[in-house]
Amino acid sequence: MVSLLRNQKARNVLLQVLYVGSLAALVLAGVMIARRNLAEQGITSGFDFLYKSTGWDVNFSLLPATANDPYWWFFLIGIINTLFLGSVGLILATVVGTIVGLARTSSNELARLLGRTYVDIFRNIPLILQVFFWYAIITHLPTPRAAHEAWGMLLTSRGLYVPAPNVGGVAMALAILTVIAAVVLPVWLGRTSRLSQPIGKRLAIQLAGMAAALACAVLVLLVARLPDAPLLDFPALQGLNLKGGLRIPPEFSALAIAIAIYGGSYIAEIVRGGFKAIGKGQVEAALSMGLSPWRVFTLVKLPLALRAMLPILANQYVWLIKATTMGIAVGFTDFFMVVALTINHSGQTLEAIGILMAGFLTINLSLAAVFNRINKAIALKGNQLRG
Amino acid sequence: MISGNATESGGPAVRIENLDKYYGSFHALRKVNLSVERGERIVICGPSGSGKSTMIRCINRLEQHNGGRITVLGTELNDDVGNIDEIRREVGMVFQHFNLFPHMTVLENCMIAPMIVRKRPRTEAEATARRYLEKVRIPEQAMKFPGQLSGGQQQRVAIARALCMQPQIMLFDEPTSALDPEMIAEVLDVMVTLASEGMTMICVTHEMGFARRVADRVIFMDGGEIVEEAPPEEFFTSCRNERTRQFLSQVLGH
Amino acid sequence: MEMVIVAPPAPGRLEDLRRRFFATPLQALLSLASLAIMVFLAWNLLNWAIFSAVFTTSGGPEACQAAAGACWSVIAARWRIILFGLYPFEEQWRSALACVTVVVMTVLSCIPAFWTGRRIALVWGAGAVLYYVLMKGGVLGLTYVGEEAWGGLALTLFIFVTSCLIGFPLAICLALMRRSELPWISRTTGIIIDGVRSLPLISILFTFAIVLPFALPQWLAGDKLYRVILGSALFFSAYQAEIVRGGMQGVPNGQAEAAMALGMSYWQRISRILLPQAMRNALPATINQFVISFKETSLVVIVGFFEILASGNAAYGTGEWRFAYIEVYAFIAFIYFVFVFSLSRYGAFLERRMSVGER
Ligand SMILES: Nc1ncnc2c1ncn2[C@@H]1O[C@H](COP(=O)(O)OP(=O)(O)OP(=O)(O)O)[C@@H](O)[C@H]1O
Ligand SMILES: [Mg+2]
């Protein structure tokens, strides 16, 4: 026995078996105890509950939802809400971050100071505090009767009311997809593999693609518009309540604003880092070729900075998506809140936690996969340009 | 000879029998046999990739061999953890890139192993460290950090550090090949002194002058095998093997 | 002919200004726009926060609400609940002292003289014990105050400090295991680390606070506070483990080989050779991680703790101060800002110093 313990190989095997074994035992014991405890409360384990109706409602959904819908439908709604809030927050944060980041790298001292102040303030205050703050601000807005009005939008304590096109849900989704295509298409059409074509021709192709996609969007909206109604539905006061238009609930706006501002301050730093990573020599070479500062920016600085930024940006985006779980603090039904409510109402604790983990793992992995693809596609070929 | 603790006296210092070593499917050492007597000084040379480092790193188990037997000071090197510890205590090693601990002063570099491995009291460890630093002729650098020394000085500290454990065998893996020419001499001087005091030494080096002066035997390796094994006079004048001759003409040629 | 050497005229103040801010029309526009934004924001902020603000409680909430500016009287009236939560009124000096302990501890660990494993552990261990004794009492003539009465800033700091205290050693263990040569250990640890990192912190806190009691035998479940601390320590350690691992990767292989050749055992190699160097490499990223996890401590409000955010909500949520939410949030934001900003500045300073000092 003693000699076995002194044997390196035996020791290695023993260590591994002990480690993996005790972990597995721990998890197994936990699951077994939990199952027994839950069984005592009359909860049978298994995923059958997914087909039962929930009996409770969600306060925000892009899909139709009632209390009669089954649990799996609510999980789907939760995931879609998370992704929706995540992408809105992500886009806004990227816009804010790019502007502030550019200000931080600009040659103008005042702009730099402004950008730096922004980053220093908003990076150093916890996101959840910012969420609470914006939520308090929005819910303290005037009631619908005394609403602020601006450009057909109404700001009230019940949410932001914006004009909405009078079209069905499917058509709306289609239109949104085509608008996204209008943004993505020019990028795809301008891939480096087409670099051999003259720049004017490339630009024309990109513009044509964008215009075509936008035209499709307009066409969809015009064709699918509801009969006997104006194309745009403006919100208006009727009695004590607001009718018409699209209501963006305070929970959603508070989260989106907070994520945009907080995420923006992080993305600004990433943008700044990306521009700092550009070799001086490459910029000088471009300037010495007589390119205008704007051309130097779009043709040299931006592409190089983007490549440097992308991996870190991917991490930040994953973080932002996870940050949507703060929705539960103000009552936005994201994926996590659906899970928490499920545990509260149905008691299917283990299953719900399992679904939660699987959901976030899937989101993370797919996001990572997408960014890896992009990264590979735009990575500098060979290694001549590093450093 | 400075004697350490409980290892069997008598018998060779190192005996290697039918040693086999694989890196994955790559056969790095092929049935190597070598026996080194106590107090003997061996120089190993050979072209790059011939397995010299691999062989001497097997002697203190920085690499694990896959076949054959290695016996060091009468203790067999096998999976027994106790044997490995015992052998490492008695075998010192000097590396090509010094591998000094950058976060410790020169003195601490020399004191740490005697204190925590041999459990010597601090005062004794410090006295030993200072004695060996004197011996490698840099007592005045004791309080500096490795990063503040020249390459030659660093390598001499590395030798002192190994000696502070009072080993019975010293392994050198190309101790001078990362050094500028003017620093090579100072390191070789220290090694010559060490040899003259009767230390058992196994040196991988291409310094043929050193081999001539101190080696009892010169070993030539190629392709994971020992190709030639002879006392220096014989090795340099009348070697039998074609590959050895080629190698020698290259090394001595310039 | 006469040679006249004319020194270029020293640029006057005005010229200097023109060059810096108005070199081109675009620059001028940018400068003016930035200046306008800054002046506008600064003026409105100052006006709100100072010039038109009410600082005394004398007028009561009514006078305060009527004022155009900020109503700092809410802080004057409610600062105790924000900082100390529901801690017994006469004992609140203990809570304050405990907060000071944490600040002193943080400052001490920023001094290089304390950067050895033993000293850092001593500072944090002693600090945590002192904090615990001060807050909980029951010994040394201090009256007993149970954890359920802890709150406000003091609770936030407690959760942060204990999470780090548990999470840091755990992170080192995880990093070592992930680097292990034994495939099953490194792979399993890798799955644990990546799994935890892919989950949002809130879901982990929720699991530890609410779900874990189901999966534990009664005698092991413990207080909710300590389960949540364990959860946040686990989350911290998963991130910190990757940072430590990065630091270890920066230590050349030869270091471990040299230590092995000297006969050092595994633990001696780790503690004397590998970790000191790895931690030095990982220092800037570590401080950054501390900053992030301090901010994330605020999330425990979601699983129902009365930490600073919840106590802030309570400070304005009840009774006559309902309108003064902005002031309360600004006050809490300011507290966070002071902690986080100074720590991250310190991190940036270290990073600069280390990149200059590199040999
Ligand atoms: N860790 C390793 N993994 C895989 N192959 C290795 C490893 N270490 C060495 N080798 C291979 O084993 C062979 C012998 O290497 P070794 O380092 O012993 O050569 P060497 O004689 O010391 O050469 P040099 O004079 O360049 O130091 C080489 O072909 C090398 O590529
Ligand atoms: Mg070698």
Q: Could you tell me which of A16, A23, A30, A270 has the C-alpha nearest to residue C195? A: A23
pLDDT digits (tens, 9 = 90+) for C110-138: 888 887 778 888 888 888 888 888 888 77
Stretch 47-106 of chain C: residues touching chain B, C-beta under 8 Å:
none
User: Where would I find the H helices in B70-220?
Assistant: 81-90, 106-116, 122-135, 151-164, 181-196, 208-214
| pLDDT, tens only, B162-180 | 999 999 999 999 999 989 8
Tokens of C100: 């000071």
What is the per-residue pLDDT for C230? Answer: 93
Give, in order, the Cα–Cα distances in Å from C10 to each of A280, C6, C17: 30, 11, 13
- Residue C294's closest CA among C188, C201, C180, C195? C201
List chain A residues with CB under 8 Å of B79. Answer: 7-10
- φ, ψ of residue C57 to 5 degrees: the values are -90, -5
Q: Which residues contact A121 (CB under 8 A, 6 or more apart)?
A: A265, C337
Distance B225 CA to ligand 1 centre (A): 13
State the pLDDT at residue A59.
Answer: 77
Over residues C183-202, mean pLDDT: 91
Residue nearest to atom 19 of ligand 1 (CA): B49
Round the average pLDDT of chain B to a whole number and report it: 90
Hey, is the C-beta of B64 within 8 angstroms of any chain C C-beta? Answer: no
Check A360 against C199: CB less than 8 A apart: yes
Can you give the pLDDT at residue A384?
Answer: 44
- Out of C185, C329, C341, whose CB is closest to A136? C329
3-state secondary structure of B186: helix
Q: How far does the CA of residue A39 sit from the closest CA of chain C (Å)? A: 11
Residue A243, φ and ψ in degrees, nearest 5: -120, 150
What number does the ligand 1 atom closest to the CA of B47 have?
Answer: 25
Q: Which position has the higher pLDDT, A157 or B119?
A: B119
CA distances from C58 to A316, C47, C65, C90 (A): 48, 21, 13, 24
**Which residue CA neighbors atom 1 of ligand 1 most closely?**
B23
Short-list A368, A343, A367, A345, CA closest to A356:
A343
Rounded to 5°, angle at Cα B170 from B164 and B173: 115
Q: Summarize pLDDT for B9-51 with one digit per residue, the tens.
A: 568 999 999 999 999 999 999 999 999 999 999 999 999 999 9
Which residues in B lie closer than 8 A to residue C268 (C-beta atoms)?
116-117
Percent of chain B having pLDDT more than 70? 95
**Would you state the structure tokens that stand for residue C48, as one six-digit string?**
């709100």
Measured in angstroms, how far is the CA atom of residue B95 from the centroid of ligand 1? 14
- List alpha helices for A41-168, DSSP H: 71-105, 109-123, 127-139
**Is any Cβ of chain C less than 8 angstroms from the Cβ of A336?**
yes
Nearest alpha carbon to residue B73 among B135, B117, B145, B11: B11
- Give which of B43, B89, B83 is closest to B64, Cα–Cα: B83
Contact B88, B80 (CB under 8 A): no
Instruction: Give me the residues paired with residue B27 across strands.
Output: B22
Interchain contact B102–C (C-beta under 8 A): yes
| Chain C contact present for B178, CB below 8 A | no
The residue among B131 and A52 whose pLDDT is bigger is: B131
Q: pLDDT value at position B53?
A: 94
Determine which residue's CA is closest to atom 31 belonging to ligand 1: B49
The DSSP code sequence of A15-66 is: HHHHHHHHHHHHHHHHHHHHHHHHHHTT---SSGGGGSB-S---S--SS---
Backbone angles phi and psi of A76, in degrees to 5: -60, -45
Q: Is residue B205 lining ligand 1, measured as CB closer than 6 Å?
A: no
Q: Which pair of tokens denotes residue C335?
A: 């507290």
Judged by a CB distance cut-off of 8 A, whether residue C313 touches chain A is yes
Which positions 3-62 of A are in contact with B (Cβ < 8 Å)? 3, 6-11
pLDDT of residue C139: 80
Look over chain C and give the mean of its residue pLDDT values, rounded to a whole number.
83
Query: How many CA atoms lie less than 13 Å away from B138 in the CB half-sphere?
Result: 26
Distance between CA C226 and CA C328 in Å, rounded? 28
CB-CB contact of B135 with B128 (8 Å)? no
Cα–ligand 1 centroid distance for B55 (angstroms): 10
Closest of C241, C119, C113 to residue C173, by C-alpha: C241
Closest ligand 1 atom to the C-alpha of B51? Answer: 18
Residues of chain A with Cβ-Cβ distance to C207 below 8 Å are: 353
Tokens of A301: 């600085």
CATH top class, domain A47-163+248-387: mainly alpha
> How far off is chain C from B162, nearest CA to CA, in Å?
7
- The CA-atom distances, in angstroms, between A328 and each of A252, A338, A355, C15, C180 are 11, 9, 17, 56, 39
Question: How many whole angstroms from B110 Cα to the centroid of ligand 2?
Answer: 24
B28 lines ligand 1 (CB under 6 A): yes
- The beta-carbon contacts of C314-319 under 8 Å, at least 24 apart in sequence, are C314/C81, C315/C74, C315/C78, C315/C81, C315/C82, C316/C74, C316/C78
Distance CA A172, CA A178 (A): 10
Using DSSP's 3-state secondary structure scheme, residue A242 falls into strand
Nearest to C233, CA basis, from C205, C211, C194, C213: C205
Q: Report d(CA A345, CA A330) in Å as an integer.
A: 19
What is the layout of strands, in order, in the sheet containing A246-248? A148-150, A153-156, A159-162, A246-248
User: Running DSSP on this structure, what letter comes out for residue A142?
Assistant: P
Tokens of B158: 């590395």
**Cα C322 to the chain's mean position, in Å?**
29
The tens place of each residue's pLDDT in chain A, 387 residues long, gives 567 778 888 888 999 999 999 999 999 998 888 888 888 887 777 777 777 777 777 777 777 777 777 888 888 888 988 988 998 999 999 999 999 998 998 888 888 999 999 999 999 999 999 999 999 888 887 777 776 777 767 777 777 777 776 666 677 778 788 888 877 777 777 665 555 666 667 777 778 888 888 888 888 777 777 666 666 667 666 666 666 667 788 889 999 999 999 999 999 999 999 888 887 788 888 888 887 877 788 888 888 888 888 888 888 888 888 888 888 888 888 898 888 888 888 878 888 888 988 998 888 888 888 888 887 777 666 544 443
- Show residues of chain C in contact with B103, CB under 8 Å: 276-277, 280
Q: What H or E segment, with its residue span, contains residue B178? A: none
CB contact under 8 A, C261 and B91: yes
What 3-state class would DSSP assign to A241?
Answer: strand
Judged by its nearest atom, the ligand closest to the C-alpha of residue B52 is 1
Element (H, E) at C259: helix C253-261
Q: What type of residue sits at position C314? A: A
Among protein residues, the one with the nearest Cα to ligand 1's atom 9 is B54
B60–C260 CB contact, under 8 Å: yes
Query: Token digits for B53?
Result: 């480092």
CB contact under 8 A, A328 and C38: no
Kindly identify which residue of chain B lies nearest to residue A10, measuring between CA atoms: B79
Interatomic CA distance for residues B1 and B167, integer angstroms:
10
* Phi, psi values for residue B43, rounded to 5°: -115, 130
Instruction: Tell me whether B175 touches chain C (CB under 8 Å).
Output: no
- What pLDDT is stored for residue C357 in this prediction? 45
Copy the structure tokens of residue B54. 């691999």
Domains of chain C: 71-87+145-358 (1.10.3720.10)
Our CA angle for C53, C55, C57, nearest 5°, is: 130
Task: Tell me the pLDDT band of C10, cut-offs 50, 70 and 90.
Answer: low
Residue A239 is predicted with a pLDDT of 65
Asked if the model's pLDDT at residue B2 lies above 50, the reply is no
A293-300, Cβ contacts within 8 angstroms, sequence gap of 24 or more:
none
Closest CA to B171 of C265, C252, C259, C261: C261
Joined together, the tokens standing for residue B248 give: 């020698």
For the residues B205-223, what does the mean pLDDT come to? 92
Angstrom distance (rounded) from CA A179 to CA C334: 41
B85 interface with A at CB cutoff 8 Å: no
Q: Can you give the pLDDT at residue B134?
A: 93
For the CA atoms of C155, C160, C163, C167, the dihedral, rounded to the nearest 10 degrees, stands at -170
Band the pLDDT of B3: cuts 50, 70, 90: very low
H-run or E-run covering C50: none
Judge if the beta carbon of residue B54 lies within 6 A of ligand 1.
yes
Using an 8 Å CB-CB cutoff, list chain C residues near B62: 257, 260-261
Residue C133 and residue B179: Cα distance in Å, rounded? 59
Residue C68 has pLDDT above 50, yes or no: yes
- Which DSSP letter does residue C9 get? P
State if residue B52 touches ligand 1 by the CB under 6 angstroms criterion. Answer: yes
CB of B82 within 8 Å of a chain A CB? The answer is: yes
Round to whole Å and give the CA distance between A97 and C152: 32
Domain boundaries, chain A: 47-163+248-387, 165-233
Query: B76 has which bridge partners?
Result: B71
Q: Please list every residue in chain C whose beta carbon sits closer than 8 Å to the beta carbon of residue B100.
A: 258
